[in-house]
Amino acid sequence: SQTIHQWPATLVQPVGSPLSLECTVEGTSNPNLYWYRQAAGRGLQLLFYSVGIGQISSEVPQNLSASRPQDRQFILSSKKLLLSDSGFYLCAWDRGYEQYFGPGTRLTVT
């Protein structure tokens, strides 16, 4: 069966510090991968998606970036965090119809 992992589960970082969140998928190959952010009281916002290794598309221009160094690994990064980057970050995968979400990372920027 397929599983999706995210880490860390929670993170508290000061403004201006770098960020690296990791997502890995097991049990499938060549999945489409997605990064979402969920701010308090708001719906999920698609940040990045990838249809293959090294292929990244950005939905929202901001100080975040994403990379896909391996087929089942998706990384969300920032060189300098802003207060507005605080939120719940979700990784998801699909290979067609159904989309499956990871457990999420709670990021608090102080």
Site for other proteins, rule CB under 8 A: 32, 34, 41-46, 49, 57, 59, 88, 90, 92, 94, 96-104, 106
Q: Which is nearer to other proteins, 15 or 39 (CB)?
A: 39
Neighbours of 81 (CB within 10 A): 21
CB of 93 to other proteins, least distance (A): 9
Min dist. Cβ of residue 104 to other proteins (A):
5
> Helix or strand or coil: residue 38?
strand
- Comparison of 72 and 102: residue with beta carbon closer to other proteins: 102
Cis bond upstream, residue 61 (ω within 30):
no
CA 37 – CA 2 distance, rounded (Å): 22
In one-letter notation, the amino acid at residue 6 is Q
Task: Output the smallest distance, CB 22 to other proteins, in A.
Answer: 15
Alpha helices in the chain (DSSP H): none
The residue (of 62 and 79) whose beta carbon lies closer to other proteins is: 62
Nearer to other proteins, 15 or 99 (CB): 99
Q: How far is the CB of 44 from other proteins (least distance, A)?
A: 4
Residue 20 to residue 22: CA distance in whole angstroms: 7
